[in-house]
Structure formats: structure tokens, C-alpha cells
Amino acid sequence: MEVRSEGPQLRTDKLPPPPPRTRAQVWFIRICSSILLWTCIVQLVAVGELWNPRLLTGLSNHLNGIKTSPLRSEVAAPTVPVPARVYKSNGYLRVSCNGGLNQMRAAICDMVTVARLLNLTLVVPELDKTSFWADHSDFGDIFDVNHFIHSLRDEVHIIKRLPKRLSQRAGYQALEMPPVSWSSEKYYLEQILPLFSKYKVIRFNKTDARLANNGLPIDLQKLRCRVNYQALKFTPQIEVLGHKLVQILRGKGSFVALHLRYEMDMLAFSGCTHGCSDEEAEELKRMRYAYPWWREKEINSAERRLQGLCPLTPEEVALVLQALGFQKDAQIYIASGEIYGGERRLTALRTAFPRIVKKEILLDSDNLRQFQNHSSQMAALDFMVSIASDIFIPTYNGNMAKLVEGHRRYLGSGKTILLDRGRLVELVDSYQNRTLSWDEFAVAVRLAHEKRIGQPACRKVILGKPKEEDYFYSNPQECLCDKLDCHEVLRPCN
């Protein structure tokens, strides 16, 4: 009986060998294989993100620990360069930013906005190298230059340097001047723009607070925010180390960023010597007189303190934090430079809160070596940690305090406790001279700060007194919400 197989029969006769492949055929097969491989990888990544997005999302988003505000979705930096804005340039604007990191940061935002308003070509800003800190960092040592240029190319044409034909070496002399402080768009359109018909290049040699807080069109206000929160990105080296600091702190629980502005330059500039010895007070006075752009007149430190114009001392801060309810085990990051008086002045604060840390403690010397002697780069690390902190507390209303406050408002992140220094020194003195008991002191401190934790609010406008009104960068209200949500966000102001 013949048995037949149900499946296909295996041929036993030999097949002729395939013809040899040409070089073009070999390369074609390799290319197809590579495309197939990458297709598989992309599909696997997509599946992985569906099931475990935290594993594959960007490291910086994972580390910063900042919650996005439900009132405003943050715009991510575009992966594809935005189309360049086409316009006829009216001239070249050079700017020299004066002051510390955050004063210069705000000035950069303002000058980009001025360049956009006047249809100018902006040269990458120059940073201050002559201030007290003597930091020789250039723009590219702190900020990502290429990101700055490309992320704003749909608004302003920004170049790294002037064309050679317009340089001083070529014999061209630019007009150098400081614009008027707190100026509106009318000033720039009517008084500055006509100058470019005579001078192709103008250099602003001072740029701090040269644009008004209020009264500007909303598109200009939003551009200031776009520059500040999207275009001014720190260099990769600063970003990596800043995220590392945040990761270390987060690994130990929640943390407070305390901007303890009790540094030598601040005390000398403000004339505040409360808690200092006679020798220290004299040293601070000599420093104030050594810098002609600081105040040279006699300053009554006691009067300024009672007016709330002095940074709180470390000893005062220790009492205030305890009164606000912070426990002994609170993790507190000191965001500042060297404290005047060193560890001796931190004794009371460290006794009350033993878990006080600084970047110099959390990072080894190898990590910080490249940033040492560069105060603006070190300040950038403190800025990143302050933005990411659960609670931010500045002891003086300086430029960093204002910009961090505004940045945290923009992101909708944790509390920012804005200390009422005038009220606090009055309460501290009453407690120390036993006019108030501890319980009375603590209750009074808490009541004084119920409405000072960074809630949404309109900026205070004082016509004719821009220095006394709320600073745009501490409360950029036009940028905090979408049009549909603004009424709800600003309701406390109505």
C-alpha cells in the first residue's frame, strides 16, 4: 500500500546556485535592513512610553520636581526651528548688562523686547565684568547662545557679533548711551528709533530697569516672558549640575530654599549693620565708599532696619522660621554666596535647623571647580534649586528674590513666602525685649504672612513712582494664564 505524505514534498533534486550579487544589491539589502531595525526600535519606544512614560521622559523633567500650573500649560521649546521673522532691520542694537545674574537676566528680556518693538538686529548681550563680583563670564558661559538665538528667530534677528564693517577696528563709532529708566514704548519709538537714521549702531551701556512695568501692549509683555522662561536656558554644564543638586535634595525629602541675602556686598550697599561688630560695620562702610556707583552718603542702619529696608540677619531668620511653624528636622538649602561673618553668624540658624545645607556641602569640589570664581554661574545653580524647591523664602527683596518669585508664579509651583521685614523686625524686637511671649510672637508672625505666599494677584501700579510699584518680573500677570482663565486668576485684584 502506498503511503502519501499530507504535507508538501521535499525536493531532493539540487537547485541551481543563485547568481552572485552585485555591490549595489548588497548595499540595497543593508539599507533596507537598517530601516526595518529602526522602525522596530521606534515602535518599541512608543509602546514603552505608553506603559511607562516616566522611564523614558526627559531627565530634566524628572528631576526638577516642579508641578505645572493648571491655569497655564507651559510651552515646550520647539524641536524644529521656528521660521525666521522677515523684516527690514532699522539698525543694530548692542547692550551692556550691568549688575548681578538676575539683574542682567531681566535686562536681557527687556532689550530683546525693545529690539522687537523697533525692528532692530540685536547683538548677543554683553555681561557686566566690572561689578563687585568681578565675574568674567560671557553670555555663552551662562546661557545657551544657540538656543537663545534660534528660539527667538521668529521675533528678533540676533547675531553673535557685529559685521566687521561696523566694528571699531574698521573705524566705525557707535552711539553709546543709557536709555531712560522705566520707559514706555512711546519713549523708544519717538526718541530712540529716530537715532538709528543717523547711527547704524547704538550701544546701551546700562540696561537695568529700562522698560516700564505696566502700560505696555500685551504682546510685548508676553515676549518678555517668552525670553525669560523659554529662551534664556542655562548652559548644559549648569543645567546638569543644577539638576543633580535638586536630585540630591529630593532624595532626602521636601526642602526649603532660603535666599539668605546676608552677604558682604548686600550689607555694604544697603548700609545695614545690625548684628555686626564695630569693626565689621567700619569694613562695610569702607566698601560702600570704594564703589562710586553705590551710596556714598552716611546711612543710619537702625532707621533703615525699622523701615524694612535691610535683609534679615541669620539670627532673625531662625526666630521667624520657627514662628512660621517649620520643624527642627526641616531640610533648608541656603541659596546665597558667602555669609558675612561665616559660620559664626549661622550658629543660631543651624542650632534651630540642623539640616541646613549648601551647594558646597552637597557637591564635591570636583563638581564645583569649573564654576568657582564665577559668581554668576554659582548663582545660576542657586536659581535652579530655588525654582524647584517646595517653599522659597527670600530674606531681602532683591533681583534674585523677585525673579524667582515670578518664575515660580509662572510655573504654578510651591509656596513663596514673602517676608514683611518691617513688621518682622518690630515683632522680633518686642519678643527679645520680652514685650511679647513666644506664643504671641508666633501668632503675630503667622497672621502677618497669611496673604504673602505668592497667591495670584494684580501688580500694584503707582503712577509716577515705578520704583515703588510691583516689579513686572516678580508678577508677570499677563503671562500667567490663557485668555479664558485670566479673569479667574486675577479675581483677587478686581
Evaluate whether residue 18 is within a structural domain.
no
The length of the chain, given as a count of residues: 494
> Exposed e or buried b for every residue in 1-33, given b needs 16+ CB within 10 A?
eeeeeeeeeeeeeeeeeeeeeeeeeeeeeeeee
- For 303-315, letters b (16+ CB in 10 Å) and e give ebbbebbbbbbbb
Q: How far apart are CA 462 and CA 281, in angstroms?
A: 35
**Same domain as 176, residue 296:** no
Residue with the larger pLDDT of the pair 299 and 252? 252
Average pLDDT along the chain: 84
Q: Give yes or no: residues 202 and 346 share one domain.
A: no
Q: How far is CA 268 from CA 187, 283, 450, in A?
A: 34, 8, 32
Comparing 5-14, 298-307, 447-456, which segment has the lowest mean pLDDT?
A: 5-14
Residue 162 in grid coordinates: 557685529
What is the per-residue pLDDT for 494? 47
Query: Whose CA is closest to 349, among 375, 373, 328?
Result: 328
Final residue of a structural domain among 195, 210, 231 = 231
What proportions of the chain, in percent to the nearest 5, are helix, strand and coil?
A: 50, 10, 45
- Residue 484 main-chain phi, psi, to 5 deg: -70, -25
Q: What is the span of the domain harbouring residue 439?
A: 236-493
User: 334 phi and psi, to 5 degrees?
Assistant: -85, 110
152 in any annotated domain: yes
* 221/240 same-domain check: no
Predicted local confidence at residue 290, as pLDDT: 84
> How far apart, in whole angstroms, are the C-alpha atoms of residue 200 and residue 195?
8
Q: Which of 71-75, 389-393, 414-418 has the highest mean pLDDT?
A: 389-393
Instruction: Kindly state the average pLDDT of the residues 53-65.
Output: 30
Indicate if 347 and 277 belong to the same structural domain. Answer: yes
Residues 290 and 364 in one domain: yes
For residues 415-441, average pLDDT = 97
Q: If you compute the radius of gyration of the chain from its CA atoms, what whole number of angstroms results?
A: 29
In a domain, 97, yes or no: yes
Provide the domain count of the chain.
Answer: 2
pLDDT tens column, 212-224: 999 999 999 999 9
Looking up cell 549661622 gives 346
Instruction: Decide if 61 is inside a domain.
Output: no
Q: Which helix (H) or strand (E) holds 67?
A: none
The pLDDT value recorded for residue 309 is 94
Q: Are residues 274 and 220 in the same domain?
A: no
Instruction: State whether 113 and 258 are in the same domain.
Output: no
325 assigned to some structural domain: yes
Spatial separation of the C-alpha atoms in residues 296 and 287, rounded to whole Å: 10
How much is the pLDDT for 102? 95
Q: What pLDDT was estimated at residue 457? A: 83
Interval 154-202: pLDDT, tens: 999 999 999 988 877 767 889 999 999 999 999 999 999 999 999 999 9
Calculate the alpha carbon distances from 95 to 11, 110, 185, 266, 316 in Å.
84, 11, 18, 25, 40
Three-state SS at 113: helix
H/E stretch holding 222 reads: helix 218-226
Grid coordinates in use for 448? 502677618
User: Cell digits for 439?
Assistant: 506664643
The answer as to whether 12 is a domain residue is no
Same domain, 163 and 298: no
pLDDT tier, 483 (very low <50, low <70, confident <90, very high otherwise)? very low
Render pLDDT for 238-293 as a digit per residue (tens, 0 to 9).
Answer: 999 999 999 999 999 999 999 999 999 999 989 999 999 999 999 999 988 887 77
If asked whether residues 465 and 414 sit together in one domain, one would say yes
pTM: 0.82
Higher pLDDT among residues 483 and 392, named by residue: 392
416/303 same-domain check? yes
Residue 71 lies in a domain: no
| Residue 11 domain flag | no
What confidence tier does 48 reach under pLDDT thresholds 50, 70, 90? Answer: very low
Residue 179's contacts (CB-CB under 8 Å, 6 or more residues apart) are: 114, 187, 188, 192, 204, 206, 207, 210
Q: Each residue of 88-128: pLDDT tens digit?
A: 999 999 999 998 999 999 999 999 999 999 999 999 999 98
Q: Which one, of 321, 382, 359, lies nearest residue 101 by Cα?
A: 382
Which helix (H) or strand (E) segment holds residue 236: the answer is: helix 236-250
pLDDT computed for residue 259 by the predictor:
97
Between the ranges 63-72, 206-215, 361-370, where is the mean pLDDT highest?
206-215
Q: Which residue in 150, 398, 166 sits closest to 269, CA to CA? A: 398
What pLDDT score was predicted for residue 159? 97
Residues 85 and 155: beta-carbon distance below 8 Å: yes
Q: In terms of domains, do 227 and 254 share one?
A: no
